[in-house]
Structure 1
């Protein structure tokens, strides 16, 4: 595919899309997209998350993006307070966009929408955590203005 042809396809995909609260009908689509993006099948994990976040309590958000009625991405986060002395802040812990739509601004719109929800809840800071080797998401979150924060993750292997 030539640059001009590929550019035209990307412009067509950019069009308008909608961000909305996730419904139970979205769950299988989230599971499939996550498996497509990570190579791991985790249906029980996503089902449990939907139970906690899909019914959207006041401080929990499970949002999806769709274009022309087609599911193209999701984001999940919550407002957490006073973990290790941190004042209340927004936490994003899951974000997925269909690879065919990654350069269309959908991730940015999902991020901006959840940040707006955090702000409406009185939050002034947003955080996330990801693997050092996750260059795709690291690049995305940095492009949104996120930088290293004041906390250090520590861990210990409990297997012998």
Structure 2
């Protein structure tokens, strides 16, 4: 049984450890910033209280003339719990929070080469949106 709840400061070490294990990058300050009141940061935990995964996002309004939208910044699921619906439950819970705030669109950015996360978001019903990301190397 998996339960979903808002992330708390006590969850940050486990969140940071899971993210570091998957991405190879340690960023505790980033995760601490996700606890800001204007953000939506949820965790999934097992019956035993172990972290099963997390999702983070916020509502961003009126960038470049676009109406307010819910943005998903991050989602990670413990590798042993993937394909058990944890990610879908987290995504649905985040979307529900966005809807409660009156949002009618949900967006995210993905690396087009990251087939795992791209497949996940497509399975949630997401498709290419109206915006085009532009990028520039400034090194």
Instruction: Determine if the TM-score, normalized by the shorter chain, exceeds 0.5.
Output: yes
Report what 2:34 is aligned to.
49
TM-score, normalising length: structure 1: 0.83
What is the match of residue 5 of structure 1?
none
Q: In the alignment, which residue of structure 1 is the partner of 2:61?
A: 81
User: For structure 2, which runs of at least 5 residues remain unmatched after alignment?
Assistant: none
Matches within 5 A, 1:3-152: 16-50=1-35, 52=36, 56-57=37-38, 60-68=39-47, 69-152=49-132
- Give me the CA root mean square deviation: 1.0
The answer for unaligned runs of 5 or more in structure 1 is 1-15
Larger Rg: 1
Q: Give the alignment's TM-score, normalised by structure 2.
A: 0.95
